[in-house]
């Protein structure tokens, strides 16, 4: 059984701070890793994908992947109240086309 | 505007009454899929389709059927709904080349009494 674990939160950070969201996964052959943002009552929206070890930066977002530790994280710099949402981690094993999602971490950015 | 649409958005039904939730995309995507989202369980894939007439089971296919007769449409069929199928359902699509960039529909909230 493939598992993707996330702390449900809520994670509360002040505006302007760095928010750090973490995700661990159980399937060692996982190859693709994604972060989705989901606002309350809305559908998930892909914000980052990462496939190789290291960091990947896109604007205020940085995804970090460590396959040896089976760990992927998302950093949000200069957090804004509009970043308040649930962040879903998803993991896919090569060629399966069946992503496994974590239960999500609720992030609250307070002014 | 590129989008995935679902209908209906909200549905209340009774046990055993067959229903269909439609999903349509206008991006010419090959890959389409259905998910259900439940509190404490996260998003789980029900079925997916790689192209017309090609469908396969996801993690939780029991009690559901799908069909892919046209590239743009991927309906979800509940032949005999039960209360444990009460959930929030999302349809998603992507191209196969960049299949991982899935675009989600707005969701269908289903209540089975």
What pLDDT digit, counting tens, does each position of A80-89 carry? 999 999 999 9
Q: Are the beta carbons of B32 and A94 closer than 8 angstroms?
A: no
Taking the Cβ of residue B50 and every Cβ of chain A, the question of whether any pair is shorter than 8 Å is answered with yes
CB contact under 8 A, A104 and B41: no
Low-confidence ranges of chain A (pLDDT < 50): none
Q: Are the beta carbons of B76 and B21 closer than 8 angstroms?
A: yes
Taking the Cβ of residue B31 and every Cβ of chain A, the question of whether any pair is shorter than 8 Å is answered with yes
CB contact under 8 A, B101 and A49: yes
pLDDT of A99? 83
pLDDT of B95? 82
Q: Are the beta carbons of A88 and A22 closer than 8 angstroms?
A: no
pLDDT of A57? 96
Tens digit of pLDDT at every position of chain B (113 positions): 889 999 999 999 999 999 999 999 999 999 999 999 998 888 999 999 999 999 999 989 999 999 999 999 999 999 999 999 999 999 999 887 655 678 999 999 999 99
Angstroms from B12 CA to nearest CA on chain A? 18
Q: Are the beta carbons of B38 and B46 closer than 8 angstroms?
A: no
One DSSP character per residue, A11-78 reads EEEETTSPEEEEEEES-TTEEEEEEEEE-TTS--EEEEEE-SSEEEEETTEEEEEETTTTEEEEEESS
pLDDT of B16? 97
Neighbour count for residue A73 (Cβ, 10 Å): 19
Angstroms from A13 CA to nearest CA on chain B? 23
């Amino acid at each position: 059984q493939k598992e993707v674990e996330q702390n449900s939160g809520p994670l509360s950070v002040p505006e302007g701070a760095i928010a750090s969201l973490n995700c661990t996964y159980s399937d060692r052959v996982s190859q693709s890793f994604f972060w989705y943002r989901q606002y309350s009552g809305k559908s998930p929206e892909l914000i980052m994908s990462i496939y190789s070890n290291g960091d990947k930066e896109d604007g205020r977002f940085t995804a970090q992947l460590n396959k040896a530790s089976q760990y992927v994280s998302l950093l949000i710099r200069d957090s804004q109240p509009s970043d308040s949402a649930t962040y879903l981690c998803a993991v896919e094993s090569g060629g399966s086309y069946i992503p496994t999602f974590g239960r999500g971490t609720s992030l609250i950015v307070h002014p | 505007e590129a989008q995935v649409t679902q209908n209906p958005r909200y549905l209340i039904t009774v046990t055993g009454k067959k229903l269909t939730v439609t999903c349509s995309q206008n991006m010419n995507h090959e890959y389409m899929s259905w998910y259900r989202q439940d509190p404490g369980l996260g998003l789980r894939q029900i079925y997916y389709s790689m192209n017309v007439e090609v469908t396969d089971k996801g993690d939780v296919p029991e009690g559901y059927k799908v069909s892919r007769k046209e590239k743009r449409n991927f309906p979800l069929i509940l032949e005999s709904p039960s209360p444990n199928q009460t959930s929030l359902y999302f349809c998603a699509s992507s191209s196969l080349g960049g299949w991982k960039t899935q675009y989600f529909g707005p969701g269908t909230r289903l209540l089975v009494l």
